[in-house]
Structure 1
Amino acid sequence: MSENHVSGMEAAAVSVLKRAVELDQSGRFQESLVCYQEGIQLLMDVLKVSKDESKRGHYREKIKGYMDRAEQIKAHVNQMKEDGKYHEQIKISGDATGYSYETLFKPYISNTLTEVWVEDPYVRHTHQLYNFLRFCEMLLKSCSKVTKIHLLTSQDDVDSSQQNGALLELKDSLSAQGVTLDLQFSSTIHDREIRFDTGWIIKIGRGLDYFKKPKGRFSIGYCDYDLRLCHETTVDIFHTKHTKSL
């Protein structure tokens, strides 16, 4: 393996671990834990191919330090979850980028996740329906064990045929992937909340519709939501051992 390739791997590890420390210091513990784990693995990969003994000793020392911190965070998170006191808040500023569904939800998705509840009154218009489609695609890519997705939303009073047609098409498409989509409508729903059967509860002030409209179909951010500008909103994350069904 070339020295340039090793340097690239090292730079990637440093970048991820730097992000882990930033998240750790800002109290976003679950996110920081995921970054610590990814960064440690990258650093271990560097250690395996490095031939410089002084660097190998440095890597081992760093890995141990990061592993110790990751274990502390894991124990802290588990204790807060056990006590029902876990609360984390993410503030997304206007025009911020880097908040795709993959990025936002990844820290809270595990291979034990099988069922998801989405309460969002605004899954009506075309772009909102596409948002929900993207969210479902993210779940399929991130966790192959998801078998049921519930959606509680409000009926579009102007063009319910488009909304119903899109959601039924999505329901059929998900069914082909082995996932059941349970659709329910409410005329009084107001709150926005996403729940996982693993106990995580994510409340986004604007629901799934926190992205700004791109300038055009060939503008950066049209396809990649990590590059899409966001509206200002707040995300609150909680954990409970009892996730109620709709």
Structure 2
Amino acid sequence: MNIESAAVNILKRGVELDTKKRYTEALVCYQEGLQILVDKIKGEVDDSARSYLRKKVEEYMNRAEAIKKLVLQQKEAGQFHEQVHIENNSTGHGYKTLFGRFLDEDVKYVSVEDPYIRSFHQCQNFLRLCELLVRSCTNLQLIELITSKDGRSEGDQREWFSNLSTDLAKYRVKLVVKYSETLHDRQITLSSGWIIKIGRGLDFYKAPENKFCLGVYDLDLRPCHETTVDIVHSKNVKQSYG
């Protein structure tokens, strides 16, 4: 029985991630694959094919529900931990791909701690993150950035943040920038409780080979430096905001 190959590939990827205990990523794949199968059932006229597809949908739906429960249990117990290892020169790790699944209407505040949002390309990375947050988090009110000052281009750094702040205000989002000379940790904290810790911070992409190559704008196509991303959940996050 030949099921839609797109669904097969997505569901296979889901199983692979599921096996690696990358549950929230697996869930996204299962949901996408299931949608394709459900759409296919609607147009399928052969009874045996419909019955086969229904059985497959039920199997994956049950697994998706089990994962949802598991993630909920781990969050409640404060034990949720998902790790993604980004290999040197690998691609497919844009911010949306890495943690876009956690950006939703529950996110009202975002805190970004990263000592290296200083040079032009690093500030552009932060800008890309802000674009993603504004598009994904419909109830977003505040983005807080804690970083360090750039001695060489401090004036530029302040101007870039000022421009960004003005633009974010058009979307009713306030930008607060704080400076710390002792900051070492790099993490993105969402008011919904999710904490994304990237070993290298936002700046884990390699510089593009030139200004006219793939990956200049689409970070999923940009080769990366090796780093580790740890995703955890804390129920105490909400209390520390506002």
For residue 37 of structure 1, report the CA deviation from its aligned partner. 1.4
2: CA distance, partners of 1:44 / 1:152: 45
Q: Which amino acid aligns with 1:154?
A: S
Q: Is the 8 A contact 2:146 2:180 kept in 1?
A: yes
Shift of 1:30: 1.1
Equivalent of residue 137 in structure 2, options 135, 138, 143: 143
Contact 1:27 1:88 in 2 (8 A): yes
* Displacement of 1:56: 1.1
Q: 1:234 aligns with which of 207, 214, 228?
A: 228
Q: 2: CA distance between counterparts of 1:52 and 1:181?
A: 56
Residue 34 of structure 1 deviates from its aligned partner by: 1.7
- Contact 1:117–1:245 (8 Å) recurs in 2: no
Q: Deviations over 1:125-153 (max 9, x none)?
A: 00001000000111122222212111000
Q: Is the 1:204–1:236 Cα contact (8 Å) retained in structure 2?
A: yes
Q: CA deviation at 1:159?
A: 1.1
Point out where structure 2 has 5 or more consecutive residues left out of the alignment. Answer: none
Amino acid at match of 1:216: N
Aligned to 1:183: 177
Aligned identity (percent) is 48
Inter-partner Cα distance in structure 1 for 2:163 and 2:46: 57
2:60 pairs with one of 66, 71, 87: 66
List alignment gaps of at least 5 residues for structure 1.
Answer: 1-6
Q: Which residue of 2 aligns with 1:202?
A: 196
Residue 118 of structure 2 corresponds to residue 124 of structure 1: yes
Q: What is the identity, as a one-letter code, of the residue corresponding to 1:151?
A: L
* Conservation of the 8 A alpha-carbon contact between 2:143 and 2:176: yes
Specify the alignment match of 2:48 in structure 1: 54
**Amino acid aligned to 1:23:** L
Q: Which residue of 1 aligns with 2:84?
A: 90
Aligned letter for 2:125?
N
Q: Say yes or no: does 1:153 pair with 2:147.
A: yes
User: TM-score when scaled to structure 1?
Assistant: 0.94
Separation of aligned partners in 2, 1:154 and 1:86? 30
1:157-206 CA-partner distances (Å, limit 9, x unpaired): 11100100001100101111111111111111111011011110110000
Pairwise CA distance, 1:64: 0.2
Q: In the alignment, is the contact (CA less than 8 A) between 1:211 and 1:231 conserved in 2?
A: yes
Shift of 1:67: 0.6
SS at match of 1:171: helix
Match for residue 78 of structure 1 among 67, 72, 78: 72
- Output one character per residue of 1:210-232: Cα deviation in whole Å (capped at 9) or x when no partner: 10000011111111111000000
> Deviation of residue 35 (structure 1)?
1.5
Deviation of the 1:15 alpha carbon: 2.0
Q: TM-score, normalised by structure 2?
A: 0.95
Distance across 2 between alignment mates of 1:47 and 1:36: 16
Give distance in 2, aligned partners of 1:44 and 1:147. Answer: 37
SS in 1 for 2:223: coil
> Quick one: distance in 2 between partners of 1:203 and 1:176?
29
